[in-house]
Structure 1
Amino acid sequence: MDDETFQMAEEEIEYPSPSAEYQTKKLEQFQGQINDSFEAMHTSFDYLMKTINKNPDRILFDAENIVILGNLATYTIPLESILSRLKNPFAGGSGLQTTKTTRKGETKGKETSVCIQPDYKNVADLPGCDILDSYFLMLLNDDKFIQHPAHGPLRRAMLLLYGLNESPASKAMKTWIESTTAAKFKPEEAAVEVKGTDGWKWRVTDANPLVDGFTIYFKKKNQRKWTKVVQDSSQFEYCYHYDDVLSLVELLSDSPRVLIQDEMYASDEYFMRQVAKHHAPVAKRLEADAAERATS
């Protein structure tokens, strides 16, 4: 018998009883647990207030919100959503709600939302103010936390806010994109470039304000100038799947191979048809698929 099994065998099994003595003991335990939670909440509230008081120029209050000035963006959190959770933790589901996110130094204009949960594994056991304190610190230091693998929603929010242009988030996004993909991020050109297969290179840009999605260019082997292949990626058949540059980079890094060899669903038919105008193997693939459908 190992130590763990022996310890479990030694644990006393509690048998409920209707007796007054047992009921009184359980009530006292319950009261003690409630008091402990109040004390933990009070301690966590003290830490939360220290964070707020240390950052008077970056944690601000307006009529109905707490406004946090991050290094990359501005975050607006409704006071009522915070207070309602603290007053009644059983209401409104679990976890933190999405937070309105605007460009750095702005509370109006272009906006998106971000939902970031604390990194603690035992978050359900933490007092509410501990979670708020952690959340505020994460937003204050968004340029650090954006590099954490789990914070994809924050990276996506920065891309939606700023696109590929130079911005307060450019440095952080360049680090992330170039450390996790084979792409090169060039914010000064509002572009991302990545090597594909068969000697191809791809370029994605959102510099054209009249285009809803991204514009895509390619260079074949030994080709000097970029050739535009897609004016607007929002025309993709599965545009919802390729609505961010990271999804496009994943597709392009395996193109044109994936357009020729893999199943149709592995890429996008609209994209295939545009590339087929410039690459005979893709055109032949589309012709073969059409012939197969005609005979089936």
Structure 2
Amino acid sequence: MDEPMGLDELFDDSFQSGTVQEIRRSRMHKSMMQVARAAERASHLVMNIVEQNEGRMQLDEHNHLLIVGNLGIYRVDLGSFMTKFANPFDYNSFDVVEVHPKNGLVKEPKTACVQVQPQKDMPAYDLFAGYILGLLNDEVTWLQESLSPLRRTLFQIYGLARSPLTPSLGQHFADSINGSFDFKQDTFTFSGTNGWKWRLHFGQPLAKGFKIEYQKPRQTWWNLLFDDHERDSTGHYAISGFFETVEHLAKCPHLLRDVNDWSTDPILLRKVASDYPPVAKILAERLTKEDYDPSKIYTFYDELLEEEHQGVVRELDELVLQRAYA
């Protein structure tokens, strides 16, 4: 038997007649219809975006949406998206999108898992609208932190040579770290902390990584840090790629005052410390402890340093102590 209704339920927004359960079912249906209508409105938004950008958004015969961005061409599987929207419990993320170079589609494209940050109560098609607009305006969005998979994929396609990435990449680094590319010399120069400057050489055909140099305040010459950073370092993730290396070094040498051998490359740390007393003095305290042993230094991947790297660390430790107590 249905229970009688209280006054708070009787006068909830508007008068409703019926039993308690009938009114509650009505409210549930109303909520579902509100969601459905919001999805319908959002679907019209998606259609308007595609129609208004017909020159850069077109459908192929395989139900893929091709989006011509400023940096690349993207091929989105609409069928996969529709399946997820129809049954959100089936999968909780977007599929990867094909990423093709700007000059045309290729047989074996790169892929990227591009994520859009959803807002509370955002209809699925609003999310999709943000997704395709982000790809359409890739020159603006690709450097956002949340789109690092797209950034890595575009970088795999173009590298550091002049490309559609160059204008936005150059502007981004010019604004953030006073960075500048010199494509005649194949170098990228940018500011660190404490008046330091860093320079990466990326046009080395026989090297796996970058040649890295630094310049201290009032110096007119450059000091060599690594001739080939992939060969000469321990392979730490902080300097594993171009973006990672630039972001890490832009915070140095100040960052190195507060790090350990697990959070930065041990060889990089000691090379900088051997030429920079503020870091050398802090590091010397650790090197002179009774339990310090280079053979017990772990990399970021929880593996002990290779014997070759242990030997390099021992030699650099001596230079650090000399600098600290000079």
TM range (shorter): 0.7 to 0.9
1:215 to 187, 211, 218: 211
The one-letter amino acid of 1:81's match is S
Cα 1:216–1:167 shift into 2, 3 Å: same
State TM-score, norm by structure 2.
Answer: 0.67
Take 1:110 and 1:270, find their aligned partners in 2: how far apart are those partners? 37
The one-letter amino acid of 1:268's match is D
What's the CA shift string for 1:79-98, capped at 9, x where partnerless? 332121122122112x4344
1:169 to 149, 165, 172: 165
1:205 to 196, 201, 204: 201
Does the 8 Å CA contact 1:219/1:227 hold for their aligned counterparts? no
The Cα shift of 1:212 comes to 4.0
2:246 to 244, 249, 264: 249
1:12 match: secondary structure: helix
Q: Structure 1 vs Structure 2: percent identity of aligned residues?
A: 24
Cα 1:29–1:84 shift into 2, 3 Å: same
1:265 match: secondary structure: coil
RMSD after superposition: 3.8
The Cα shift of 1:210 comes to 4.9
The Cα shift of 1:71 comes to 0.8
Does the 8 Å CA contact 2:114/2:149 hold for their aligned counterparts? yes
Matching of residues 1-296 of structure 1 within 5 Å = 12=8, 21-62=19-60, 63=62, 65-93=64-92, 95-108=93-106, 111-118=110-117, 121-122=119-120, 125-146=121-142, 151-180=147-176, 182-186=177-181, 188=183, 189-196=185-192, 200-219=196-215, 222-224=219-221, 227=224, 229-233=226-230, 236-255=233-252, 263-272=260-269, 279=275, 289=287, 292=290, 293=292
Does the 8 Å CA contact 1:98/1:116 hold for their aligned counterparts? no
2:31 match: secondary structure: helix
Take 1:199 and 1:131, find their aligned partners in 2: how far apart are those partners? 44
Does the 8 Å CA contact 2:238/2:265 hold for their aligned counterparts? no
2:262 match: secondary structure: helix
2:239 match: secondary structure: coil
Any unmatched runs of 5+ in structure 1?
1-10, 15-19
Does the 8 Å CA contact 1:216/1:233 hold for their aligned counterparts? no
Take 1:98 and 1:71, find their aligned partners in 2: how far apart are those partners? 19
The Cα shift of 1:203 comes to 0.9
The Cα shift of 1:186 comes to 0.7
The Cα shift of 1:113 comes to 1.2
What's 2:308 paired with?
Answer: none
Cα 1:115–1:252 shift into 2, 3 Å: same
Does the 8 Å CA contact 2:237/2:244 hold for their aligned counterparts? no
Does the 8 Å CA contact 1:70/1:140 hold for their aligned counterparts? yes
Cα 1:53–1:30 shift into 2, 3 Å: same
Does the 8 Å CA contact 1:45/1:129 hold for their aligned counterparts? yes
The Cα shift of 1:165 comes to 2.5
Cα 1:274–1:37 shift into 2, 3 Å: same
2:94 match: secondary structure: coil
Does the 8 Å CA contact 1:65/1:79 hold for their aligned counterparts? yes
Take 2:128 and 2:151, find their aligned partners in 1: how far apart are those partners? 21
The Cα shift of 1:184 comes to 0.9
The Cα shift of 1:26 comes to 2.3
State TM-score, norm by structure 1.
Answer: 0.73
What's the CA shift string for 1:55-84, capped at 9, x where partnerless? 223223342532211111222222332121
1:267 match: secondary structure: coil
Matched residues, number: 275
The one-letter amino acid of 1:186's match is F
The Cα shift of 1:136 comes to 1.1
